[in-house]
Amino acid sequence: MKKRIIILGCTGSIGQSTIELVREFPDLFEIVGLQANTNEQKLLELAKEFSCTQLCLTGKNIGADVLNSRIIFYGKSSVNNLIKNTDADIVVNGISGAAGLIPSVTTLECGKNLALANKETMVLAGNIINKIAEENNVKILPVDSEHSAIFSLIEKCGKDNIANITITASGGPFKNLTKEELNEVTLEQALNHPTWNMGPKITIDSATLANKGLEVIEANQLFGLSAEKINVVIHPQSLIHSLVQTKDGQFYAQISKPDMRHPILSALTYPEIVENSLEQVDFSKPFSMEFQPPRYENFPMLKLAFDALKKGNSYPIVYNAANEIAVVAFRNKQIKFTDIAKAVENVMNFDWSKTCTTIEEVVEVDCEARNKTLTALKELN
Ligand code: MG
């Protein structure tokens, strides 16, 4: 039987990669629901191509409309109705940023498996999310390439045998720049990622290493490993997507071309492994793989993520919220590249030791952190 898929963020980079896989495997998958934020035309094109009738556009004001003989529901909460009212086996959450949290909650509460590309879900509310998944007896299948790698390596090696994990990072476009040079980088340079082709927010996060920071926190929540058991290594070729080390000291790595369709396919077909036509690593030609430790002093966003993880409580929420706001300011050319980390650090200096036990509390802290960041940004200027 075909797996019925809802794609959230269907016009974004994860959504598009998922759609390519559905085109390649029409016998395995069926698209039953689509969500986009603002790109209505693309949403309708996809709906037509896949004969999908359950549609929503969350970036428009509330309501509904009939377009090209299809009903589209509008408004922020329409995504929850889409998830609730559509029979599906799995929801791919490719929404960017904290906006992906509530749709993840709804997915799990409705008893649907979650193919999770939205790392903020685990960063903001990992404890709550894990509990909801357990209560509803559904799986969280990581789509982030590093976490997909670790997920399958842990399954293969056995959780009890894992001593620690090593998350690889491409290092982004600025991995070799000095502190002084980093001070002068432009938005255009930050948007030019050497190995991955992704949306603008995550591309900038890759340049500051905030993306890796978020992934460290995400790994902690997904795999229940403490900060001390999570390492990061710069690996510019992005061929090894992460490693685990077993108790006997051996390292195991997952290797594939940097193409998000690999981890998405793993999540969609789990627990099966299927043949496919994606480009593979070719050992018949020479190539090399390099590794270097991260330069924490020049990329403070990575260090701040470990700080947030060690402090726990609401600090990870604040780390993410402050970064989202600071990145918007950088994209609007209101602040410098290096100001992103300064703003985040300033906001994290407040007392965030409150523990959130409900999603409402998470949203509250998130909101407060965003407001404090706006103030911190004004003080930087
Ligand atoms: Mg990643």
Per-residue pLDDT of 66-112, as tens digits, reads 888 788 999 999 999 999 999 999 999 999 888 999 999 999 999 99
Same domain, residue pair 128 and 179: no
In a domain, 266, yes or no: no
- In the reported structure, the alpha carbon of residue 231 is separated from the centroid of ligand 1 by a whole-number distance in angstroms of 14
pLDDT of residue 193: 78
Ligand 1 centroid from CA 146, angstroms:
5
Q: What pLDDT is recorded for position 66? A: 86
Asked whether residue 186 is domain-assigned, the answer is yes
Determine, yes or no, domain membership for 120. yes
CA of 152 from ligand 1 middle (Å) equals 15
Average pLDDT over residues 3-13: 97
214 and 175, same structural domain? yes
- For residues 152 and 101, membership in a common domain is answered with no
CB proximity list for 174: less than 8 A, separation 6 or greater:
181, 182, 185, 189, 190, 207
241 CA distance to ligand 1 middle (Å): 8
Q: Are residues 53 and 150 in the same domain?
A: no
Same domain, 54 and 161: no
User: Does 248 have pLDDT greater than 90?
Assistant: yes
Q: How far is the CA of 73 from the centre of ligand 1 (A)?
A: 31
Which of 74, 107, 142 is the last residue before a domain boundary? 142
Whose structure tokens read 């700080």? 307
C-alpha 99 – ligand 1 centre gap (Å): 18
Antiparallel, parallel or unpaired: β 54-57 and 29-36: parallel
Q: What mean pLDDT comes out for the span 331-343?
A: 97
* Alpha carbon of residue 288 to chain centroid: 28
As a three-state string, the secondary structure of 274-325 is CCCCCCCCCCCCCCCCCCECCCCCCCHHHHHHHHHHHHCCCHHHHHHHHHHH
Residues 133 and 19 in one domain: yes
Residues 85 and 150 in one domain: no
In a domain, 235, yes or no: yes
Is residue 150 located within the same domain as residue 230? yes
Taking the centre of ligand 1 as the mean of its atom positions, its distance from the CA of residue 372, in whole angstroms, is 28
Q: What is the tally of structural domains in the chain? A: 3
Task: Quote the ligand 1 centre to 100 CA distance (angstroms).
Answer: 16
Contact 79, 57 (CB under 8 A): no
Q: Assess whether 216 and 287 both reside in one domain.
A: yes
Q: Which whole number is the average pLDDT over 357-380?
A: 96
The residue assigned the tokens 């495997």 is: 25
SS3 16: helix
Tell me the CA–centroid distance for residue 143 and ligand 1, in Å. 8
| Pairing label, strands 140-142, 113-116 | parallel
Q: Give this prediction's pTM.
A: 0.95
90 lies in the same domain as 201:
no
Residue 269 lies in a domain: no
235 and 331, same structural domain? no
For residue 268, tell me if it sits in a domain: no
- Number of helices (H), then strands (E), belonging to the chain: the values are 15, 12
Give 331 Cα–ligand 1 centroid separation in angstroms. Answer: 21
Residue that terminates a domain, selected from 89, 112, 142: 142
Strand bridging mode 3-8 / 29-36: parallel
Mean of all residue pLDDT scores within the chain: 96
For residue 306, the model assigns a pLDDT of 98
Strand (E) or helix (H) holding 28: none
Residues in the chain, overall count: 381
265: pLDDT strictly greater than 80: yes
Q: Which of 83, 115, 142 is the last residue of a domain?
A: 142
Q: Which CATH number does the domain housing residue 374 bear?
A: 1.10.1740.10
Whole-number Å distance, alpha carbon 61 to ligand 1 midpoint, is: 32
Task: Measure 304 CA to ligand 1 centroid, in angstroms.
Answer: 18
Q: Which domain holds residue 13?
A: 3-142
Residue 173 lies in a domain: yes
Helices marked H in 115-232? 120-135, 145-157, 179-183, 187-190, 200-208, 210-223
Judge if 138 and 156 occupy the same domain: no
Q: Residue 259: is its pLDDT beyond 90?
A: yes
For the domain that residue 116 is a member of, what is the CATH number? 3.40.50.720
Task: Please write the tens of the pLDDT for every residue from 139-176.
Answer: 999 999 999 999 999 999 999 999 999 999 999 999 99
Please write the tens of the pLDDT for every residue from 282-313: 999 999 999 999 999 999 999 999 999 999 99
Question: What is the distance, to the nearest Å, from the Cα of residue 250 to the centroid of all Cα atoms in its chain?
Answer: 28
> From ligand 1's centre to the CA of 71, what distance in Å?
34
- Say if 264 falls within a structural domain: no
> Which has the closest alpha carbon to 372: 326, 310, 303, 332?
326
